[in-house]
Structure 1
Amino acid sequence: MIKFGWLNGITGDYSSYYEPSQAAVSVAIDEINDNGGVLGKPVELVAADNLSTVEGAVQGFSRLVDVEGVVAVGGVESTGGLAIRDSANELEIPVFCPGCGTPELDDAGGEYIWRITGSDTDGGTIAAQFARDEGIQRVAIMAQNTEGLSEPADIFKEVFEEGVGGEVVADVRFNPGRSSYQAELAQAFDANPDAVYLAAGHEAGSVILREWQRRGYGGKFFVSPDLVTPPIGSLMPELEDGVAVGAIAAYDTESPAYQSFAERFKAKTGEDPAAGVYDANQYDQYIALALAITKAESTEGADIAAAIPEVLSPGGVEVFSYADGVRELEAGNEINYHGASGTLDLNDANNLAAPLFGEQFIVDGAWTQVDVLELDPALSEVLDR
């Protein structure tokens, strides 16, 4: 038996991602085991709740590694990924981050951590690009004081001011876990912005948006990726049709890997995959991990870490499933796994070389992709100055 760890926010701010993420990883584990397991052994998934906090991530990682004996860990978000990064490197435990947007992983995530989604650096920049393209000149920021939420707000502010030439008329930071944010809302909207950039977790974001509705402020929101989730999509009709705008990692829906995953995901859940909850990324991490172990012919952390770039980078036979990847590897061929979430080609910092982003509106109670975005290179260069 080979154990894979899944360290996820089952409770707390990230809990809205849990059910579709859990379904996606189940699809991956079933696919691996239905095709002979890994190195002839069945795979078991061991889950731990990171409580959507730093402390919970550290405790959950310790249990998975020290008690359960997992060979690798997946599922973590920005908070958890940063919390366990040093321990993963020290203990040589490979870690996949299917939803870690934090800019702290942009340049050097560590030898044992791989991010297979886009960065919040890109997300904050794209939000500023939205504002520019819609002629927005005055923006108020409301941002939660937690890892993974304050950073994209800082990036948005820098790009909006220096790249777009806009004005941030209020910059309101708040702590989560409160029953009301009326004072913060008043501070933002009393500045008469053309739009509000809201970076918050699901719990605080829901409270803020309901208070916004009750007070009839009107206006427009650009939201961080953490709010592009089904519960926010169905929260209220006042946010529909472009009132709330988000940008999240987009899927390559034409890929055979996506189409196969989507069919099995829908059979399990009754729903289509949704890019906003990173379900295809959650699936991809375990297929990639199983292929890396097959390539390495080892479950030692250092061997797996060396093999991960080898099964995800250009140059080999392109494969779209675990079975096809194993077949090519057993034939002695190099492979390039193209995942359900898209190409997983990596750069030198263990991040995606070319992530896709989709512009999202709420339509009929659900976030809906209205466009696939290309980031304006001129705005990205603002951050390099």
Structure 2
Amino acid sequence: MCLRVWLDDGISATLWASRCRLGRLDPVSGRRKTVKRVLVALLAVGLVAAAACSGDSGDAAEEGPVKYGFLNGQSGDYGPWGHWALAAAEVAVEELNAGGGVLGRSVELVVEDNGSTPEGAVSGFAELTEVDGIHALGGIESDGMIAIFDTVHELQIPTICSTCGTTELDNTGGDMVFRIIPSDTDNGIVGAQVARDEGYRNVAMLVELSEGTESPANVFKAVFTEQMGGSVTADVRFNAGETTYAAQVAQAFESGPDAVYIAAGFETGVPLLNEWQRRGYSDIPLILTTDLLSPEIAEIISGVEGASAIVGATAYDTENNPAWDAYVPRFEAKIGDPPEIAFYDAWQYDQYIILGLATAKAGTTDGAAVAAAIPEIANPPGVEVFSYAQGLAELEAGNDIDYHGTTSNMNLNSVGNLLSPVMAVIHVQDGDWAVRENIELDPTLVKPS
């Protein structure tokens, strides 16, 4: 029965097989189940090959809804951010549709949960492209982006990374992949800069073994030791899912550091910091990476008397920014809470406004044309615009535009990275994360070779 459905539906054998294993096809009827959001797979090689052999989305007829994919960790390590990320994406798509849609067509947000894993990103991307027929993609994180990078180019699916810090994109984007958040290179440098400015000379490191956590940590270590003359007293690397982190925490905090740098995902960070709390290391300051900017982490730290934790991270450009002023009430109406820098929601919103304007600029959903239009609508010269409706009106009047997002200007360099990211020192205040001060990257500090 499943074989007949595979042939009838015209999907690849690998995707068909993965659905059967994952429960996406009913084992009796062989038909596709309606619930397809949660993925657990280990099919990276097979699915990438299958997706690469599938039909080119650029050949799709210019009819029906414009489909933008949202491939995001709604569960797993990035799960705590998932609800906020999806809400922001929905706010953006609602704005696109309220503005008349894109190319006169309604916009549909097609959601896939990648489980916060590269394997989930691969299978989710295959689902979005082979079955749903998306025209562009957003929502993806670092590990997932690296896993589907080649296939994105092969299928010519314009992709915006709203939470991809990985240094792997420092020199490889700008063709089909664009990043509107600072690189982990920036985050690693600013982390070292903050450590230096706080007067720390000896720092221990606790680093989870994953692309998203090792990427900024490696930059931090290189800049802190090679360019600042600092010392790393212990560099402790560990896997997620350990039964206990007692040994790792003890090794780092008992190595004589002035501070401890922690790069970990949320699901690892919580038990790790609980162990830190239990062992009474509150006299040693913490430098955390952006993946730990969550209310739960802030609550743990604020519950420990005398504890100090700071994060050198990206920030929102909220001063005199009409895009931000318009976004905040719409997001709050959607979710019941105002935007928080800890959840990266505003970048999720910006990416779909960019995709909508780029598609309108291109006059087609063809992937190559839309990708080429992204830097054209995000960079000067052009009329500075702060919303989809404003940008669309200028495009229809024959004018070039320069979209300024909720988070900052969206000016991109030749490899699709932000030219001037906004950075800040963030700390725990009254039980929550708050910006202590905005800072500029020290121009004397450079990316390690």
TM-score (structure 1 length as normaliser): 0.97
Residues in 1 aligned to 2:216 and 2:130: alpha-carbon distance in whole angstroms: 34
Match of 2:144 among 80, 83, 93: 80
The aligned counterpart of 1:253 is: 318
Moved over 3 A (4+): 238-242
Match of 2:367 among 301, 314, 324: 301
Residue 307 (structure 1) shift: 0.7
Q: Mean alpha-carbon deviation: is it higher for 125-134 or for 325-334?
A: 125-134
Residues in 2 aligned to 1:210 and 1:164: alpha-carbon distance in whole angstroms: 31
Matched, 1:139 2:200: no
Matched, 1:286 2:352: yes
The aligned counterpart of 1:333 is: 399
The aligned counterpart of 1:193 is: 257
Residue 270 (structure 1) shift: 2.3
The aligned counterpart of 1:379 is: 445
Quick one: which amino acid aligns to residue 187 of structure 2?
G
Correspondences of 1:3-152 after superposition (within 5 Å): 3-109=67-173, 111-152=175-216
Residues in 2 aligned to 1:351 and 1:112: alpha-carbon distance in whole angstroms: 12
Residues in 1 aligned to 2:287 and 2:378: alpha-carbon distance in whole angstroms: 33
Is residue 242–residue 362 contact of structure 1 (8 Å, CA) maintained in 2? no
Residues in 2 aligned to 1:236 and 1:357: alpha-carbon distance in whole angstroms: 22
Residue 238 (structure 1) shift: 4.2
The number of equivalent residue pairs is 383
Residue 86 (structure 1) shift: 0.5
Residues in 1 aligned to 2:387 and 2:431: alpha-carbon distance in whole angstroms: 33
Where does the alignment leave 5 or more consecutive residues of structure 1 unmatched? none
Residue 178 (structure 1) shift: 1.8
Residues in 2 aligned to 1:59 and 1:258: alpha-carbon distance in whole angstroms: 34
Correspondences of 1:237-276 after superposition (within 5 Å): 237-238=302-303, 243-254=308-319, 255-276=321-342
Matched, 1:225 2:285: no
Residues in 2 aligned to 1:64 and 1:160: alpha-carbon distance in whole angstroms: 41
When residues 242 and 346 of structure 1 are mapped into structure 2, their CA distance, relative to the original with a 3 A threshold, is farther
State the Cα RMSD in Å: 1.3
Residue 276 (structure 1) shift: 2.3
Residues in 2 aligned to 1:339 and 1:242: alpha-carbon distance in whole angstroms: 35
Q: Helix, strand or coil for the counterpart of 1:234?
A: helix
Residues in 1 aligned to 2:201 and 2:126: alpha-carbon distance in whole angstroms: 47
Residue 177 (structure 1) shift: 1.2
Residues in 1 aligned to 2:251 and 2:260: alpha-carbon distance in whole angstroms: 11
Greater Cα radius of gyration, structure 1 or 2: 2
Residues in 2 aligned to 1:284 and 1:123: alpha-carbon distance in whole angstroms: 20
The aligned counterpart of 1:212 is: 276
Is residue 110–residue 128 contact of structure 2 (8 Å, CA) maintained in 1? yes
Deviations 1:334-379 (CA, angstroms, capped at 9, x unpaired): 0001001110000001011111112100112211011111011112
Deviations 1:234-287 (CA, angstroms, capped at 9, x unpaired): 234246887111122211112100110012111222222112221110000000
The aligned counterpart of 1:317 is: 383
Q: Helix, strand or coil for the counterpart of 1:125?
A: helix
When residues 209 and 242 of structure 1 are mapped into structure 2, their CA distance, relative to the original with a 3 A threshold, is closer
Matched, 1:183 2:244: no
Is residue 223–residue 244 contact of structure 1 (8 Å, CA) maintained in 2? yes
Quick one: which amino acid aligns to residue 232 of structure 1?
I
Alignment identity in percent?
50
Quick one: which amino acid aligns to residue 423 of structure 2?
F
Q: Helix, strand or coil for the counterpart of 1:378?
A: coil
Residue 4 (structure 1) shift: 0.7
The aligned counterpart of 1:163 is: 227
Residue 150 (structure 1) shift: 0.8
Is residue 175–residue 372 contact of structure 2 (8 Å, CA) maintained in 1? no
Is residue 98–residue 115 contact of structure 1 (8 Å, CA) maintained in 2? yes
Residues in 1 aligned to 2:294 and 2:180: alpha-carbon distance in whole angstroms: 19
Higher relative contact order (CA 8 A, sep 6+): 1
Is residue 142–residue 172 contact of structure 1 (8 Å, CA) maintained in 2? yes
Is residue 240–residue 361 contact of structure 1 (8 Å, CA) maintained in 2? no
Deviations 1:30-81 (CA, angstroms, capped at 9, x unpaired): 1111111101111110100111111000000010011000101100011111
Residue 383 (structure 1) shift: 2.2
Residues in 1 aligned to 2:194 and 2:307: alpha-carbon distance in whole angstroms: 11
Quick one: which amino acid aligns to residue 296 of structure 2?
P
When residues 362 and 240 of structure 1 are mapped into structure 2, their CA distance, relative to the original with a 3 A threshold, is farther
When residues 87 and 212 of structure 1 are mapped into structure 2, their CA distance, relative to the original with a 3 A threshold, is same
Is residue 291–residue 325 contact of structure 1 (8 Å, CA) maintained in 2? yes
Quick one: which amino acid aligns to residue 200 of structure 2?
I
Residue 233 (structure 1) shift: 1.8
Q: Helix, strand or coil for the counterpart of 2:262?
A: strand
When residues 356 and 241 of structure 1 are mapped into structure 2, their CA distance, relative to the original with a 3 A threshold, is farther
Q: Helix, strand or coil for the counterpart of 1:231?
A: helix
